[in-house]
Amino acid sequence: MTTAPFRGGLRLVQLLLIAMIALLIVRGPFYGLVESGPYDGAWGGPSRSGAWLVHAALAVPIGLVAGALLVASERLRRRLVLQEQGEPAAWWARPVAALAVALAAVWVVLWVGQL
């Protein structure tokens, strides 16, 4: 059985993580420059400095976790490539890849639903 669908799905997960990291960089530490206000409904609002501080404080740890997930998904994708080339297979690689793709799909649905 080929691992191509799993590897392709992991590439989509990686693109999603890269997009999330880019969004965190733009809207986290630079929130006060990106959003002009009013900040009444923003996290940390109603002041600009409070909203900026809370967005920056949340963006840093979430960005670190997203970066770690990006590295983990690449390691999993490489394991699947080696498996495709005939290396000994890890029994857990395909189920974990399928779970990662499913969780990413759920995350996208939830993200779009809150917009």
Sole residue written with tokens 């600009």 = 48
d(CA 16, CA 111): 12
Q: How confident is the model at residue 1 (pLDDT cuts 50, 70, 90)?
A: low
Q: How confident is the model at residue 103 (pLDDT cuts 50, 70, 90)?
A: very high
Residue 30's nearest CA partner among 5, 3, 51 is 51
* Number of neighbours of residue 29 by Cβ within 10 angstroms: 17
Report the predicted TM-score, pTM, of the whole model to 2 decimal places: 0.78
What is the per-residue pLDDT for 16?
A: 93
